[in-house]
Structure 1
């Protein structure tokens, strides 16, 4: 059973995630204004530790293309 503090943290994290996604959807120019920061972002990777956001996006696109080619 979760402690009240754990439940509060999970709720706050969900709100934060939703707020970030909502902001980015409504402000797509964020990525243009902050290109240097976006290029420096690192995403957790199960094998390599972290990868750049650009690498992560390219890998997702490749996987999507491969899945479409198998159809």
Structure 2
């Protein structure tokens, strides 16, 4: 949201709308489907080796987690 406000402040309306759109899409995926975009990106970065496995061994395979009851 800060990036969108800064983009608007500097007159970059398209960039602000793109950032806001990305935030809305990510929030919708999380709230409707329980899919966290940030977790998926983090797991991908671990998988390709940009982040060492020791940082978060559990996060490197998010699909093996048991679903939460509820």
More strand by share: 1
The TM-score with structure 1 as length reference comes to: 0.39
Larger Rg: 1
The TM-score with structure 2 as length reference comes to: 0.40
